[in-house]
Chains A and B, each alone.
Chain A
Amino acid sequence: MLKVEEIHTYYDHIHALKGVSLEIREGEIVCLIGSNGAGKSTTLMTISGVLHPARGRVLFDGQDIAHRPADRIVGLGICQVPEGRRILPRLSVADNLEMGAFLRRDREGIRQDLEKVYELFPVLAERRRQQGGTLSGGEQQMLAIGRALMGRPRLLLLDEPSLGLAPIVVEKIFGIIQQINRDGTTILLVEQNANLALGVSDRAYVLETGRVTLSGPSRELAHDERVRKAYLGEQ
């Protein structure tokens, strides 16, 4: 479904991605782990078209989308829940969700999806008139996921959904991520919490300073000595 080939992405002179390649097949949950500054968010932003690689290709259904603007990539069915959630602070919860469906025109479908999102996260329904910026961290994460779902993604990119959340909320969110996947959405999950990410994903890539250093089935990586040392906190 998505194939990233040898991408090099820069921030001015900072060479953030130094030839990253990865592949995601339909129906999978793939995770991307790595420590701070490894280039995980940069990879997602390059896939979403907010950043463009200087070299390399991003193939989605075989088409190279590396140089398309971000607002055109959403229309292909790639939605992102960005790092820090980026809730539109002065739009209501309902309007944030409506903006998630900005490109869609199927009113009936949008209405159904809205109902589904409210069912998935009842707290959002309770707070639908409240401004997005006034929600708690966990609620904002739910809103960010709900908003992405409103775009009916075929591929959902999630950037550190566990960040800053209480363990019980994290558990709930990860349960929902798995449910979204079972309902047919392919997922690329970025996480620093490697334990968690390897637990829910089919395959994993390890990113270190802009390069993929390891990859394979998550179950195998979870037992890999290098991964255990570097990311699972074992000595």
Chain B
Amino acid sequence: METFLQQMVNGLTLGAVYALIALGYTMVYGIIQLINFAHGEIFAAGGYIGVITLSFLQSRGVLEAHPTLGLVLAFALAMVYCAFLAVALERMAYRPLRDASRLSLLLSALGMSIFFSNGMMLCQGVYDKAYPIQLYSTGQFTVGGAVVSYIQVYIFVGALILMIGLNLFVNRTRLGKAMRATAQDKVMSALLGINANRTITITFVIGSVLAAAAGVMVGLYYGSVRFDMGFIPGIKAFAAAVLGGIGNLTGAVLGGMIIGMVEVFAAGYLASEYKDVFAFIILILVLYFRPTGIMGEQVDDTRV
């Protein structure tokens, strides 16, 4: 029972991270029907900016005095950096291919993924970069025998706040509604005065900001980042997006949570060496039996 609860806690934490990344996949897919393979690398870049910021502050002796401020700064800079990265990515690698075949676009995304991951390797080296987490990893408490670290709480609450923010943006604001309109019918949206390019840019920016936050969270959670850290979580989050029904925001959150849970429970009760396999198994099963995912009715009537 205690391990069960413990797995729940760990699963929720991991699931929240996957959900954040999955949202970016699903939003971009919803609006331009592209699987943005470079999304995992944006997540990794966020992790790097986080560690660079924190290490810099630590080297200046500021971090000890203002740990919370340091954290806020790490998240903020990672998000801003990844927002610019996403704008550049979309402008250079995807926009010129707007009228090209979907395969060309997909290949461009794959290429950018490799390009970014190699770029990070060249700039930051091939070894793990350690997060200065001593300041943050101390606190914890127990509920019913399960140990909950403060970091886990921060991650979960942080992710929740971001998701609520996204939900409000998409459902309540003029730009958020325009984004959904563009995803639903580009020609009609243009006839209403909505600039598709601008909306697409906003979509990329939002997805990348969420991924950047996830990157810093993962760095804090596992204590380090590496140039290729985007690959596996990227695919898992993609699996989560497909599981939830690609194009569907609620589905992405749900899918992320399920994948996180399954991974943690499978690692705990079956075999931890195989923990990465389960997301792929789910992906294959979903694609085979229900390619529209749990809530995926939204994709099929999207007009292109």
Contact of A59 with B by CB under 8 A: no
CB of B301 within 8 A of CB of A89, answer yes
Chain B contacts with A in 187-208, Cβ cutoff 8 A: 187-196
Among B177, B196, B301, residue most surrounded by chain A Cβ atoms (within 10 Å): B177
**Inter-chain contacts of A80 with B (CB < 8 A):** 191
Contact of B129 with A by CB under 8 A: no
Contact of B178 with A by CB under 8 A: yes
CB of B177 within 8 A of CB of A91, answer yes
Contact of A88 with B by CB under 8 A: yes
Q: Tell me the interface secondary structure of chain B in the complex.
A: helix
Q: Which residue of A lies closest to B196 (CB)?
A: A71
A71-102: contact bitstring with B at CB < 8 Å (1 yes, 0 no)?
11011000110100010111100010011101
CA separation between A80 and B187, bound complex, in Å? Answer: 11
For the A-B complex, the count of residue pairs with Cβ-Cβ distances under 8 Å equals 67
CB of B180 within 8 A of CB of A90, answer yes
Contact of A146 with B by CB under 8 A: no
CB of A102 within 8 A of CB of B184, answer no
CB of B190 within 8 A of CB of A69, answer yes
- Category for how many chain A residues contact B: 20 to 34
Contact of A9 with B by CB under 8 A: no
CB of A50 within 8 A of CB of B191, answer yes
CB of A86 within 8 A of CB of B178, answer no
CB of A71 within 8 A of CB of B193, answer yes
Q: Which residue of A lies closest to B180 (CB)?
A: A91
CB of B192 within 8 A of CB of A100, answer yes
Q: A86-B185, A86-B188, A89-B301 are in contact. Are A71 and B177 (CB under 8 A)?
A: no
Contact surface of B with A, Cβ cutoff 8 Å: 174, 177-178, 180-181, 184-185, 187-196, 298, 301, 303
10 further contact pairs, Cβ within 8 A, besides A70-B191, A102-B194, A147-B192: A50-B187, A71-B192, A71-B194, A79-B191, A88-B185, A88-B189, A90-B298, A91-B184, A99-B177, A151-B192
Contact surface of A with B, Cβ cutoff 8 Å: 48-50, 69-72, 74-75, 79-80, 82, 86, 88-91, 95, 98-100, 102-103, 133, 147, 151
